[in-house]
A = this chain, B = another copy of it.
């Protein structure tokens, strides 16, 4: 079976013509229609319905997070090109006049700003780790979180939005608990997405580490099979990842001081369901008229 669209341009144009998304002056920044939003919320509900740990804490993160916690994730080292840092103005009248003079001359008025105590999160679980108990219990920690990720990679491919939502199931515990979480959730995630009529499959994957050193890190990640993506063919150009299941080893345990009972750093794993990407896949697969989608798909999304 071929992909529903030949190219990302074809897909984007169909969505814009169908009134599903609105393009803006900046590539990768879209306004969403109510259809998009209600489908996305339906996807979130369907993802939440897959939960297996009763009573696990659930957090919805705002689109900003503490700078200090973000720096602990080491994202600036591995993915500097994707980071979004926030600047604010802290001066008085005099400094404001100076700023406005530069702005009126067409200069860089942002040189008059200073770094805020917040940044944009690059991944949805980043704001979580700094808020967990540092003594990890024997069964590990099970957490759910939902929020926005900013990644600065302007593109006209509708699958590459600059800011998008992810729902994550996170496990912090032993290496065995973390690996089991990643693998069991990969199977569970594929099944949940197949229920939505998406012909999804898993692929070993790597993150887009930056620069020359990053190339080696990416190869290492792929060789060690730390990351699997859930992919679907929306265009003939390349598969689109609509989720991923990741084993972080002790990366977050080490940097956020999360310890197992023996004092060693906890390991962790997460599965991320790309809510905007899954919505995109649903519109690409089932068309822009939501009412005409298969009844079974609408039932899973709680769409009347």
Q: What residues make up the interface of A, taking CB atoms closer than 8 Å to B?
A: 22, 24-26, 29-34, 36-37, 41, 58-66, 68-69, 71, 76-77, 80-81, 83-93, 96, 99-100, 103, 108-110, 113, 115-118, 120, 127, 130-131, 145, 148, 150, 152, 154, 161-164, 210-212
Contacts and interface: CB of A to CB of B under 8 A. Distances in A.
Given A29-B62, A29-B65, A81-B89, 13 more contacts: A24-B65, A24-B66, A24-B127, A24-B130, A31-B131, A34-B58, A62-B162, A62-B163, A63-B148, A64-B150, A84-B86, A86-B120, A118-B162
A213 B41 CA distance: 44
Given A24-B131, A152-B116, A60 B76 contact: no
A29 B60 contact: no
Contacts of A31: 59-62, 127, 131, 145
Most chain B C-beta atoms within 10 Å of own C-beta, residue among A77, A116, A210: A116
A125 to B, nearest CB: 12
A179 to B, nearest CB: 27
A161 B103 CA distance: 28
A253 to B, nearest CB: 19
Contacts of A148: 62-63
B60 A63 contact: no
Contacts of A91: 80
A63 B36 CA distance: 16
A49 to B, nearest CB: 13
Given A25-B130, A80-B99, A96-B210, A152 B63 contact: no
A34 to B, nearest CB: 5
Contacts of A93: 211-212
A95 to B, nearest CB: 9
Given A80-B96, A86-B86, A120-B86, A63 B63 contact: yes
A84 B120 CA distance: 11
A89 B83 contact: yes
